[in-house]
A and B are shown apart, each in its own frame.
Chain A
Amino acid sequence: MKILVPVKRVVDYNVKVRVKADGSGVETANVKMSMNPFDEIAVEEAVRLKEKGVAEEVVVVSMGVSQCQETIRTALAMGGDRGILVETDDELEPLAVAKMLKGLAEKESPDMVILGKQAIDDDANQTGQMFAALMGWGQGTFASEVDIQDGSIQVTREIDGGAETVKLKLPAVVTTDLRLNEPRYAKLPNIMKAKKKQLDTLSPADLGVDTTPRLKTVKVAEPPKRQGGIKVADVAELVDKLKNEAKVI
């Protein structure tokens, strides 16, 4: 089978995010960027399926600025076979990404598309679901276990009440949750090999997608600074404060 893995370039999870002075977004200039951690889990799962002999080819795709090539190369160093970048400097919303993924899926005809359940920058948690709807494919979101069977996938999903297991017909969409696997770190020889792997570049126009944003960001603000707590002498005082000051009981 062929697996398509969309990956997003985001501000590294170790970076302390700062809001731009004009409140239009977060600062990304001179900030370390890396692959969305949930997408890393998706790459790992796809590569494991290839190593098990279940998948023949893992195609990594990304959308955005030209530096997204670095993110794709990282995925290729983990074991992806080739990459496709849809290059644009425009701000991309989940629906535009889902539409472009549809264009790529029609070109590539993958049996499975596996991606992170959400990106750690906007936390939208929409792309996988929108894409599945556009394709009319089944979706197994928040996967903590993926088991490929003959012509279908069994996906264990992390839901509020525990774990739910669904069976999907192929082709299908899977979005990954944290517990699915622990991504490997890249090995030096594979980093070197990844430099030589095929990486094609397309434009949104090549896929016939209009990426004009449909949403307008009104304001981005820092969360309020945490106030220091207080100590109470006894339970009675605590209850009194909860009742009369905080008014929560």
Chain B
Amino acid sequence: MHPKPDQYQELRDALRDLCKHYPDAYFRGIDAEGTYPEAFIDSLTEAGWLAAMIPQEYGGSGLGLTEASVIMEEVNRNGGNAGACHGQMYNMGTLLRHGSEAQKQAYLPRIASGELRLQSMAVTEPTTGTDTTKLRTTAVRKGDRYVINGQKVWISRVQHSDMMILLARTTPLADVQRRSDGMSVFLVDLHEAMGNGLSAQPIRNMVNHETNELFFDDLEIPEDNLIGEEGRGFKYILDGLNAERTLIAAECIGDAWWFLNKVVDYTSERTVFDRPIAQNQGVQFPIARSYVNTEAANLMRFRACELYDRNEHCGAEANMAKLLAADTSWEAANVCLQYHGGFGFAHEYDVERKFRETRLYQVAPVSTNLVLSYVAEHVLGLPRSF
């Protein structure tokens, strides 16, 4: 079974023990009902897995993005979908890296215990996707509060969060020197905000992913909820995006292992014309190719993790890891579906569910073309296209 044992085997074994309690049928049922895997996420939380990156002094395990990525990989490798919970792993990073000591004391221990779920990050808007600096949601200071107005879209896990990270413009675009200035990050208490200036509209979608449209209408939040300095929020968010992309790369690697294990087992057993179909090189080679690509993408994923954990720039590596891993999981998904034939389309084989789930990562959290654009302009220094 892949991946092969590595230095994180102890974590992998412990996670597989936990995941054994949540077999494919569990996730199939959650998908069919369009519900949230509460019991599974509760087990992960209770066993401390989602607090891996929170320092020990705040109640977590003080591990790096590398170990966190192994956790997410294993969730997907064992048939689950870490998209339901990866926000809890990395969103607190904004608070940890840029919050005040008082904010960290107030929230991190409760996030570590799972009492507070900080699973959402509200950046994307209907009219400004990746063009983040043009976002229109504003935060205007009024006494000791900020008043928020605007709209966000594709904001995940809001229905299963207590707190949310919000990026809003505090200084109008026209008044800043650099367009990345003038945005600020806030912590929003969702229980207080809902119905008091914030409303959420769930968006039904191709995969069972809980995501929403958010409307801010004079939502007031205390000034204490500003994270870091006013106007520097965009930089804070970028760190979080690199963590998110790298974790999602690991999830794609986990998906790829799942598809590869599944297709190797199936094609070795499925007998047509008196021999297993895997005996045909026409079947073997695409599977082998997919394996090679997965191993390669996995190296870039660990490279991105390593840089992030050393606090070095990892924008290029995080983006490249996400692109390669998403491509390889999609390739593995196609191979797996193809060689399952008609059975691949049957819900009970779980291939179609994982196929839909992993397809998302060609698009989210940053689309393949925008990764290429990043590499072209920021790594290769080609002329800017936008």
Contacts and interface: CB of A to CB of B under 8 A. Distances in A.
B17 A188 contact: no
A34 interface: yes
Contacts of A70: 10
A192 interface: yes
A191 B18 contact: no
A185 B17 contact: yes
A34 B12 CA distance: 13
A186 B43 CA distance: 11
B89 to A, nearest CB: 12
A73 B62 CA distance: 19
Given A185-B17, A186-B47, A189-B51, 16 more contacts: A32-B5, A70-B10, A74-B10, A74-B13, A77-B14, A185-B14, A186-B17, A187-B46, A187-B48, A188-B48, A189-B60, A189-B61, A190-B48, A192-B61, A192-B62, A192-B63
30 contacts: A70-B10, A73-B10, A74-B10, A74-B13, A77-B14, A185-B14, A185-B18, A185-B21, A185-B47, A186-B14, A186-B17, A186-B47, A187-B46, A187-B47, A188-B11, A188-B14, A188-B47, A188-B49, A188-B51, A188-B52, A189-B51, A189-B60, A189-B61, A190-B48, A191-B10, A191-B11, A191-B14, A192-B56, A192-B61, A192-B62
A248 to B, nearest CB: 33
Nearest to B13: A34
By CB atoms of chain B within 10 A, which of A34, A70, A188, A192 has the most? A188
Interface string B1-33: 000010000110110011001000000000000
Contacts of A73: 10
Given A34-B13, A70-B10, A73-B10, A189 B18 contact: no
Contacts of B56: 192
Contacts, number: 38
Contacts of B14: 77, 185-186, 188, 191
Interface string A1-45: 000000000000000000000000000000010100000000000
Interface in A162-191: 185-191
Please provide the 7 A-B residue pairs with the shortest distance between their CB atoms, ordered closest to farther.
Answer: A188-B48, A187-B47, A185-B17, A186-B14, A189-B48, A185-B18, A187-B48
Interface residues on chain A, size class: 10 to 19
A34 B11 CA distance: 13
Nearest to B21: A185
A189 B63 CA distance: 10
A187 B46 CA distance: 8
A32 B12 CA distance: 12
Contacts of B48: 187-190
A74 B56 CA distance: 21
Contacts of A32: 5
Contacts of A185: 14, 17-18, 21, 47
Interface in B35-80: 46-49, 51-52, 56, 60-63
B83 to A, nearest CB: 20
Nearest to B59: A189
Nearest to A190: B48
Interface string A71-93: 00110010000000000000000
Nearest to A70: B10
B251 to A, nearest CB: 18
Nearest to A32: B5
Contacts of B52: 188
Contacts of A189: 48, 51, 60-61
Contacts of B21: 185
B55 to A, nearest CB: 12
Nearest to A12: B13
A74 B48 CA distance: 16
Interface string A184-203: 01111111100000000000
B197 to A, nearest CB: 37
A74 to B, nearest CB: 8
Contacts of A188: 11, 14, 47-49, 51-52, 61
Contacts of A34: 13
A186 B18 CA distance: 8
A150 to B, nearest CB: 35
